[in-house]
Copies of this chain bind each other. A is one copy, B any other.
Amino acid sequence: MSLHPMKLVTVICESVLEEQVVELLRDCGVQGHTAFDVRGSGSQGLRNAEMRECGNVQIEVIVKPEAASSLLENLRAKFFEHFAMVAYESEVRVLRPQKF
């Protein structure tokens, strides 16, 4: 069995953005994603999950190493100015690289 290096891009943003972020992922040619609701704090204050309108969501995507930085760049360009958002990449090693 061999493992293949990939990038995991993680985005934490306001729940209202989930649909738009997923759309952007699709536009960037990403094949899948995983999302879950989180709560958190940051420069824009506390975001507890009580009201969905003010909630946070964490979105994780595995992409080919070369695709990660353009994806992050697109996220930055589209959302960073106006919205609470944190985005980062890290290294992972997957089975079945053809999936991603």
Contacts and interface: CB of A to CB of B under 8 A. Distances in A.
A76 interface: yes
A40 B58 CA distance: 11
Contact of A73 (B1, B41, B42): B1
A15 B14 CA distance: 23
The majority secondary structure among interface residues of chain A is strand
Interface string A36-55: 11111111000000000000
Interface of A: 1, 3, 6, 8, 10, 12, 22, 31-43, 56, 58, 62, 69, 72-73, 76, 80, 86-96, 99
20 contacts: A1-B69, A1-B76, A3-B69, A6-B88, A10-B92, A12-B34, A32-B41, A33-B40, A34-B40, A35-B38, A36-B36, A36-B39, A42-B99, A43-B99, A76-B95, A86-B94, A88-B94, A89-B92, A90-B92, A91-B91
